[in-house]
Amino acid sequence: MRAHDSDPTTQEGFIARVADAARLPPSEVDLDARLIEDLGLDSIALLELIASVVAIPLAGEPLFDELAAQRWDETTVRDFWRRYKKRVVVIMDAD
Amino acid sequence: MERFAVPSLIGRHVYLRAVTPQDFGFLHATETSGELGPRWRFRGATPSPEQWSHSTWGNVLAQFLVATTKDNSPVGMVAVHQANFQDGHAQLSAARFKPSDKTPSMMLGLAIFLQYVFGCWDLRKLYMEVPEYNYSQFSSGVGNFFEIEGRLRDHLYSGGRFWDQLTLAIYRDVWVDRGGAIVELETAG
Interface test with A, best of B69, B103, B184 (most A CBs within 10 A): B103
Euclidean distance between CA atoms B65 and A81, whole angstroms: 33
Lowest mean pLDDT among A56-65, B69-78, B86-95: A56-65
Q: Is the pLDDT of residue B4 over 60?
A: yes
Compute the nearest-CA separation of A23 from chain B (Å).
Answer: 9
Provide the CA B22 distance to its chain's centre, in angstroms: 21
Q: Does B185 touch chain A (CB under 8 A)?
A: yes
Q: What percent of chain A has pLDDT over 70?
A: 79
Q: B38-54 as b/e, with b when 16 or more CB fall inside 10 Å? A: bbbebeeeebeeeebee
Euclidean distance between CA atoms A39 and A22, whole angstroms: 6
Identify the pLDDT of residue B170: 98
Model pLDDT for residues B124-167, shown as the tens digit of each residue: 999 999 999 999 889 999 999 999 999 999 999 998 999 999 99
Q: Does B18 touch chain A (CB under 8 A)?
A: no
Q: 3.40.50.2300, 3.40.630.30, 3.60.150.10, 3.30.497.10: which CATH number matches B14-187?
A: 3.40.630.30
Report whether A76 contacts B171 (CB < 8 A): no
List the single residue in B with minimal CA-CA distance to A21. Answer: B140
Q: What is the average per-residue pLDDT within A31-56?
A: 88
**Residue B51 DSSP one-character state:** H
Which 3 state secondary structure label does DSSP give B95? strand
B19 pLDDT band, cuts 50/70/90, is very high
Which 3 state secondary structure label does DSSP give A78? helix
* CA-based torsion, A34, A35, A38, A42: positive or negative: negative
A58: left (phi over 0), alpha (psi -120 to 50) or beta: left
A1 pLDDT band, cuts 50/70/90, is very low
Q: Is the pLDDT of residue A91 over 60?
A: no
Model pLDDT for residues A10-25, shown as the tens digit of each residue: 999 999 999 999 999 9
B51 pLDDT band, cuts 50/70/90, is confident
Counts for chain B of helices (H) and strands (E), in that order:
5, 7
Q: Indicate the residue of A51, A69, A71 with minimum beta-carbon distance to B181.
A: A51
Nearest by Cα to B66 from B28, B113, B116, B99: B113
Q: Does B136 touch chain A (CB under 8 A)?
A: yes
Whether A47 and B182 lie within 8 Å, measured CB to CB: yes
**Residue B83 DSSP one-character state:** E
Interface test with A, best of B12, B14, B71, B102 (most A CBs within 10 A): B102
List the single residue in B with minimal CA-CA distance to A75. Answer: B102
Nearest by Cα to A69 from A44, A50, A85: A50
Residues of A in Cβ contact (< 8 Å) with B188 = 61
Report whether B185 contacts B163 (CB < 8 A): no
Residues of A in Cβ contact (< 8 Å) with B137 = 42-43
ipTM: 0.83
Q: Which residues of A touch B (CB under 8 A)?
A: 21, 23, 36, 41-48, 50-51, 54-55, 61, 64-65, 68-73
Euclidean distance between CA atoms B145 and A43, whole angstroms: 13
Longest CA–CA separation in chain A, Å: 37
Whether B182 and A70 lie within 8 Å, measured CB to CB: no
